[in-house]
Chain A
Amino acid sequence: MSTLGKGEEPDAPATSSPYASENKSLMIAAGVLLVIPVLALMTVGLYAKDGPELFGFPFFFWYQFLWVFLTAGMTYAAHRLVLKARGKSHKDIA
């Protein structure tokens, strides 16, 4: 649960977390999971190829289809990691 109340909060930099305890390494792991898909898709030279083909699809195309699913999985995993890092449960979500 958030520790925020109705009174004044300390004037700290915006990036410091107000959560009572935040597991840093879980947060970093979540960050890594979010960056991987971006890197995988920005490095066009690595996947702009014909082969190996899959079901008649050149590599260029099925690689990107694959990353639709991988990104969905990684983003969801990052979401759960962030919740765990901040001591919340996914059951808390409205």
Chain B
Amino acid sequence: MSALVAGGVAVLAAPDSTPNTGINYTALSILVILFALVTVAGFMATRFKRAESLDSLDEWGLGGRKFGTWVTWFLLGGDLYTAYTFVAVPAAMFALGSVAGFFAVPYTIIAYPIIFVFMARLWSVSHRHGYVTTADFVRGRYDARGLSLAIAATGFLATMPYIALQLVGVQAVLEVAGLGGSDNIIAKDLPILIAFALLAAYTYSSGLRAPAVIAFVKDALIYVVILVAIIYLPSQVGGWENIFASAQEKMGTINEVTGKPQGSFIPVEQQYWAYATLALGSALGLFMYPHAVTATLASGSRNTIRRNASILPAYSFVLALLALLGWVAIAAGTEPIGLDGNPNAQLVVPQLFEDMFPSWFAGVAFAAIAIGALVPAAIMSIAAANTFTRNIYKEFINRGADAKKEAQVSKLMSLLVKAFALVFVFTLDKQNAINFQLLGGIWMLQTFPAVVFSLYTRWFHRHALLAGWAIGMVYGTYQAYLTPNPATGQAHFGGSVAAIPALAELGYIAVTAFAINVLVAAVLTPVLNAMKVAKGADETRPGDYHADADDPRVQKDLQAHEPGALPDKA
């Protein structure tokens, strides 16, 4: 471990930035002020598009389904660009280079045409039938409780480490600001507990509307900080030529522990498949997450989603710039060292900001990142709660639950999900948390066949889809377990790329598992049909997949959340 630290520090070089050992009061004050403003906005968010009552899942969990284009745009933006993205992608670029970090750019670019194709259909069929989750849809399409439970459980599980990572982002910012020293127990955990408590409180009272209002503030802060960073910082470190030259030099240096180059500057031939499959697998899996589905269903018409899909690539542009900040940090000689004295690449962007900006603007930047973590954490916790309530609680525990009861259960589960994520943050090594996230991605992609294929066809047998899902989950989890990280000495869950069977290539485990999943489902379907195993009733009709806001049944669904009204679907 000490050789690793020495190696890490040697590569980081440049003596003019020293590890932060004290509290940066200016930055911290600005952070606190902006945070307080956002908190007040969160509590007041109940006034935004006021509804009769928040006592129903649709009102609390979906903001009444009436958001127009611009609100949806901001909400989706806040949803997708998380603190993990702002902290971890540049950290991956800084430590390991473009294959580990820059794949996020093609991933987010191609996600949008992919979503354009199928999310409108999901919106339409969901509004015709009152579906709130993808598990609802699968249940209605196949009358398959097992498959629906599998989808719900996967979504619920994969969201939790994702929430944990948002809290890691907040912790990174607080650590660079000087809070959370590792010797004093109270100082160490109090900041994050306060942030968690505030988040929990205003999410509990306002539901999805709280994140929507804060998302405006968040996006404004993020864009200002990013634009200033990208315009100002490169010139301070010798321009882009020097930035790329420094990165190339660092990535080419041989790592003492592994005996191989530190990282990748531009992918080489052996890495092409890894890069492409990391991008493709992540893109296919992105909108399977409950929070992405929640945000999509909250919009007021099916074409709002399609129109948004064409402007969301603007966010990819921001992401590409952020990834490159990881390399700006190399040229700047940033040393991301934690308060415990160990190098921690996750701190690189906050540390870069603290080193290069005046303290007050560093505070603004910290606020941008921290608030940018809270929006996704809130949205994710609501979505995970919704899935639990509809597809696990109501389906298997209390079938007679009314709308008010559903909202109560969701509120409680949202709190529990956040609390559980907090446990991850405190007990797990950050390296482990990242690997839970990669596992989450592997899991989420396995729900793609059951959800997306079903939007177009009922050819696949429901039990074949369930078998495919199960085998994909087992294969993916096992492969990730077998993958070590030689640089850190981690024996299990050390990476997300492994050999693809039958090809002499390394690829993202999620995609390999997905291919096996589809193969199993495709092979078992004719077998089950030949054995005359029941296919299950389909409560949807072809026209459902094109219904828009002007459709009478859709309007009925959009209004059906009045307190006391019975939901369209039993």
Inter-chain contact A65/B546, CB cutoff 8 Å: no
Q: Which residues of chain A from 42 to 94 have a CB within 8 Å of any chain B CB?
A: 42-45, 48-50, 55-58, 60-61, 64-65, 67-69, 71-72, 74-76, 78-79, 82-83, 93-94
B97: shortest Cβ distance to chain A, in Å?
Answer: 11
Provide the residues of chain A in CB contact with B116, threshold 8 Å. Answer: 34, 75, 78-79
Q: Is A2 an interface residue (CB 8 A)?
A: yes
B462: shortest Cβ distance to chain A, in Å?
Answer: 15
Inter-chain contact B309/A79, CB cutoff 8 Å: yes
In the complex, the chain B residue whose C-beta lies closest to that of A64 is B105
Q: Is A17 an interface residue (CB 8 A)?
A: yes
Cα distance, A58 to B547, chains bound together (Å): 46
Inter-chain contact A44/B268, CB cutoff 8 Å: no
Cα distance, A18 to B276, chains bound together (Å): 36
Q: Which residues of chain B from 252 to 274 have a CB within 8 Å of any chain A CB?
A: 266-269, 272-273
Knowing A68-B317, A72-B313, A75-B309 are in contact, say whether A57-B244 is a contact too (CB < 8 A): yes
Cα distance, A37 to B116, chains bound together (Å): 13
A81: shortest Cβ distance to chain B, in Å?
Answer: 11
Provide the residues of chain B in CB contact with A75, threshold 8 Å. Answer: 112-113, 116, 309-310, 313
Provide the residues of chain B in CB contact with A25, threshold 8 Å. Answer: none
In the complex, the chain B residue whose C-beta lies closest to that of A46 is B272
Cα distance, A49 to B268, chains bound together (Å): 9
A37: shortest Cβ distance to chain B, in Å?
Answer: 6
Provide the residues of chain A in CB contact with B272, threshold 8 Å. Answer: 44-45, 48
Interface size class on chain A is: 35 or more
Inter-chain contact B301/A94, CB cutoff 8 Å: yes
Of the residues B269, B307, B320, contact of A93 by C-beta under 8 Å: B307
Cα distance, A91 to B89, chains bound together (Å): 39
Cα distance, A65 to B314, chains bound together (Å): 10
Q: Is A38 an interface residue (CB 8 A)?
A: yes
Interface size class on chain B is: 35 or more
Cα distance, A48 to B269, chains bound together (Å): 9
Inter-chain contact A9/B113, CB cutoff 8 Å: no
* A-contact 0/1 string along B301-322, CB 8 Å cutoff: 1011011011101101100100
Inter-chain contact A48/B113, CB cutoff 8 Å: no
In the complex, the chain B residue whose C-beta lies closest to that of A76 is B310
Q: Which residues of chain B from 453 to 484 have a CB within 8 Å of any chain A CB?
A: 455-458
In the complex, the chain B residue whose C-beta lies closest to that of A10 is B542
Inter-chain contact A64/B240, CB cutoff 8 Å: no
Q: Is B374 an interface residue (CB 8 A)?
A: no
B551: shortest Cβ distance to chain A, in Å?
Answer: 6
Knowing A79-B310, A93-B304, A94-B304 are in contact, say whether A37-B549 is a contact too (CB < 8 A): no
Provide the residues of chain B in CB contact with A41, threshold 8 Å. Answer: 106, 109-110, 276, 279
Cα distance, A55 to B273, chains bound together (Å): 28
Q: Is B541 an interface residue (CB 8 A)?
A: yes
Q: Is B525 an interface residue (CB 8 A)?
A: no
Knowing A13-B457, A44-B276 are in contact, say whether A78-B542 is a contact too (CB < 8 A): no
Of the residues A6, A17, A65, contact of B552 by C-beta under 8 Å: A6
Q: Is A16 an interface residue (CB 8 A)?
A: yes
Q: Is B98 an interface residue (CB 8 A)?
A: yes
Cα distance, A8 to B550, chains bound together (Å): 18
A20: shortest Cβ distance to chain B, in Å?
Answer: 12
Of the residues B109, B266, B273, B543, contact of A4 by C-beta under 8 Å: B543
Provide the residues of chain B in CB contact with A67, threshold 8 Å. Answer: 106, 109
Inter-chain contact B306/A2, CB cutoff 8 Å: no
Most A-side CB within 10 Å, residue of B69, B310, B316: B310
Q: Is B68 an interface residue (CB 8 A)?
A: yes
* A-contact 0/1 string along B361-373, CB 8 Å cutoff: 0000000000000
B521: shortest Cβ distance to chain A, in Å?
Answer: 17
Q: Is B535 an interface residue (CB 8 A)?
A: no
Of the residues B69, B113, B117, B551, contact of A71 by C-beta under 8 Å: B113
Knowing A18-B543, A45-B272, A79-B116 are in contact, say whether A64-B109 is a contact too (CB < 8 A): yes
In the complex, the chain A residue whose C-beta lies closest to that of B269 is A45
In the complex, the chain A residue whose C-beta lies closest to that of B319 is A68
* A-contact 0/1 string along B101-116, CB 8 Å cutoff: 0100110011011101
* A-contact 0/1 string along B143-154, CB 8 Å cutoff: 000000000000
Q: Is B385 an interface residue (CB 8 A)?
A: no
Knowing A44-B272, A75-B116 are in contact, say whether A60-B266 is a contact too (CB < 8 A): yes
Q: Is B22 an interface residue (CB 8 A)?
A: no
Q: Is B79 an interface residue (CB 8 A)?
A: no
Most A-side CB within 10 Å, residue of B112, B273, B303: B303
A46: shortest Cβ distance to chain B, in Å?
Answer: 10
A67: shortest Cβ distance to chain B, in Å?
Answer: 6
Cα distance, A10 to B541, chains bound together (Å): 8
Inter-chain contact A93/B301, CB cutoff 8 Å: yes
Cα distance, A84 to B457, chains bound together (Å): 25
Cα distance, A13 to B69, chains bound together (Å): 31
Inter-chain contact A38/B113, CB cutoff 8 Å: yes
B218: shortest Cβ distance to chain A, in Å?
Answer: 21
Cα distance, A74 to B114, chains bound together (Å): 12
Per CB-CB distance, the 5 closest pairs between chain A and chain B, nearest first, are A56-B240, A76-B310, A41-B106, A75-B310, A44-B272
A-B contact pairs, 14 of them (CB 8 A): A2-B546, A15-B457, A17-B546, A34-B113, A37-B110, A38-B113, A38-B114, A45-B269, A48-B267, A58-B244, A61-B102, A71-B316, A75-B313, A79-B303
* B interface residue numbers (CB < 8 A to A): 68-69, 98, 102, 105-106, 109-110, 112-114, 116-117, 239-241, 243-244, 266-269, 272-273, 275-276, 279-280, 300-301, 303-304, 306-307, 309-311, 313-314, 316-317, 320, 324, 455-458, 540-543, 545-553
Known: A61-B102, A75-B309, A94-B304. 10 other contacts (CB 8 A): A4-B543, A15-B456, A34-B116, A38-B110, A41-B279, A44-B272, A44-B276, A60-B266, A71-B112, A71-B113
